[in-house]
């Protein structure tokens, strides 16, 4: 298994755990310990590029917080001690990537829909402190749909105090394209408002997945509109520390979705940098048969 294969290999199970799983993250450039707050596979988006298998039913439907914390403690210690690298497939991780980068809250749905989001942020932050892992980030990977809810905002405050980052999804520049790829009843304006308000409070990372749909790449006018939205966030006082431009790396929900060529990803990165002056980084896809 190559490094590219490891980047594409993101199972939600590890060592009989139900909620916590380590992965080699292409965007973190190290080991990311995932926390799945949506084991029921329910999400308020139905993205055409989703890489979660929703055709099968999960054995675990509810989050048991104490069990999750125990799993997280064991897994963090396994990575920090380097014991993880004795187990397949992590025994193939290159030496320069053998580092514990973050605890990432994502999983099989939108993590901020978890009703006890603020509690789980607090418990995980306490655990990180107990294990003396102050340099390990806590990363929330979110579609930004619920960032306006009071208990979510409380959880974000905990994140801010715990080496935290928000990676907010923004894949479109217009309502029409947003609805085409996200397939949700949540209006685009709500996403933009929530991202803007979050970015006013602290610097955030924008994660943007672009793809080919029915053989066609994202329209260039849509890329320009995407840049306009980023500029509007900045003009409102929002701070964006990084824009991640990436494409498909694992099998998507719909067969008519495919990765962009590396050159197409590079062209979008160049456009974003020119139009917004933001730090922008490319992450490439898998162009053979997807695993």
The class level of CATH for 3-283 reads alpha beta
pLDDT value for 139: 97
Start-end of H helices in the chain: 3-8, 65-80, 117-130, 150-160, 175-182, 188-201, 220-235, 262-276
Cα separations (Å) of 61 from 39, 42, 109, 141, 251? 5, 9, 12, 20, 23
> Which ranges of the chain have pLDDT less than 70?
1-15, 26, 28, 54-61, 287-291
The vertex-210 CA angle with 236 and 264, nearest 5°, equals: 110
- Is 14 in contact with 97 (CB distance < 8 Å)? no
pLDDT digits over 43-56, tens only?
Answer: 999 999 998 876 66
pLDDT value for 253: 86
CA distance 17 to 99: 21
Whether the link from the prior residue into 89 is cis, omega within 30° of 0, is: yes
The vertex-217 CA angle with 211 and 219, nearest 5°, equals: 115
Q: Could you tell me the pTM of the whole model?
A: 0.89
Q: How many CB atoms lie under 10 A from the CB of residue 126?
A: 13
66 φ, ψ (degrees, to nearest 5): -65, -40
pLDDT value for 10: 46
pLDDT digits over 101-153, tens only?
Answer: 999 998 789 999 999 999 999 999 999 999 999 999 999 999 999 999 999 99
């Amino acid at each position: 298994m190559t490094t590219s294969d490891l980047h594409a290999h993101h199972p939600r199970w590890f060592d009989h755990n139900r909620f916590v799983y380590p992965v080699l993250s292409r965007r973190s450039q190290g080991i990311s310990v995932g926390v799945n707050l949506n084991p029921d596979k329910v999400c308020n988006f139905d993205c055409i590029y989703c890489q979660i298998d929703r055709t099968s039913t999960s054995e675990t439907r509810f989050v048991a917080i104490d069990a999750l914390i125990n799993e997280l403690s064991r897994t963090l210690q396994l990575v920090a001690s380097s014991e993880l690298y004795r187990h397949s497939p992590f025994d193939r991780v290159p030496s320069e990537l053998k580092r514990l980068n973050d605890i990432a809250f994502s999983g099989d749905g939108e993590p901020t829909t978890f009703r006890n989001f603020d509690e789980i942020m607090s418990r995980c932050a306490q655990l990180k402190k107990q294990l003396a892992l102050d340099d390990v980030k806590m990363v929330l990977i979110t579609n930004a749909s619920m960032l306006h809810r009071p208990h979510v905002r409380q959880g974000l405050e905990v994140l801010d105090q715990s080496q935290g980052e928000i990676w907010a999804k923004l894949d479109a520049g217009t309502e029409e394209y947003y609805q085409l790829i996200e397939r949700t009843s949540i209006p685009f304006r709500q996403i933009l408002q929530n991202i803007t308000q979050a970015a006013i409070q602290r610097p955030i990372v924008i994660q943007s997945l672009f793809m080919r749909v029915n053989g066609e790449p994202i329209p260039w006018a849509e890329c320009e509109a995407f840049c306009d939205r980023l500029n509007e966030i900045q003009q409102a006082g929002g701070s964006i520390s990084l824009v991640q431009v990436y494409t498909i790396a694992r099998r998507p929900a719909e067969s008519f979705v495919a990765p962009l060529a590396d050159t197409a990803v590079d062209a979008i990165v160049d456009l974003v940098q020119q139009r917004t002056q933001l730090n922008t980084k490319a992450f490439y896809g898998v162009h053979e048969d997807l695993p």
